[in-house]
A = this chain, B = another copy of it.
Amino acid sequence: MREMDFSRCPILGNLGNERVGKLLAGAKFSVETFEKGDMVAMQGSPCKHLYILLSGSVKTEMTAENGGLMTIENIPAVRPLASAFLFAEQNTFPVDVTALETCKILMIPRDEVIKMFQKDGLFLENYIKFNSNKAQFLSRRLQVLNIKTIKGKLAHYILESMDNVRSADPKAASFTMDKNQTELAKFFGVTRPALARCIAELEDEGTIELERKVVKVKNLQALRNLLG
């Protein structure tokens, strides 16, 4: 217990480590270690525990039935994994979860989680809120995936990233991508050369400039036009 720090955990952080300690004191749980590249969970396998990533980071990937990959998320510690699915009727992992580095994961059985809800109302509130946000995230992914053209997806991705940057620096016109081109192609569910071509086209049109992971927006309005 001593080595666990929950302060940055979205469903346990605001309780404080002491209160979390009490909450876990009477509960059954285990901590497992995974090395880089290990599968933490497989798409379709049953999800009977609440997983809390204590240290390290993981990657979640959804495999389409035709074999094509689509990266969903990279998740750094401290965060719950698949919390939204723990109580579903068909409670299976919707994604493959792979360790990106050495990871420690706290695993709490379903029934214990229910007891913890009863013990601490704030934990319950956090859990519901976190799952609500999770549903929002999935819903947004649906919207993005529904954008048909690669240029459209790219424009949406850039504009969204710009908004995040601008809330810190309102007059910023560039940002650094969190993914390389290959990862971005997976994220969009398209081939890498097709993405490269679209980037080249946007550069030729003078809409953006791209150097490594740094994107400069030269013509914001042109980007917006690609959406509607």
Contact = CB atoms under 8 A, between A and B. Distances in A.
Contacts of A147: 64-66
Interface of A: 62, 64-68, 70, 84-91, 94-95, 114, 117-118, 121, 124-125, 127-129, 131-136, 138-143, 145-149, 152, 156, 189, 227-228
Nearest to A64: B146
A76 to B, nearest CB: 19
How often does this chain occur in the complex, in copies? 2
B146 A62 contact: yes
Nearest to A70: B146
A64 B132 contact: no
Nearest to A156: B65
Contacts of A85: 132, 135-136, 139
Given A64-B143, A148-B66, A131 B131 contact: yes
Given A65-B143, A148-B68, A228-B67, A118 B118 contact: no
A132 B84 contact: yes
A90 B189 CA distance: 26
B87 A128 contact: yes
27 contacts: A62-B139, A64-B143, A64-B147, A64-B148, A65-B147, A65-B156, A65-B227, A65-B228, A66-B148, A68-B146, A84-B131, A84-B132, A84-B135, A85-B132, A85-B139, A87-B129, A88-B132, A88-B133, A88-B136, A91-B132, A94-B136, A118-B121, A128-B128, A131-B131, A138-B138, A138-B142, A141-B142
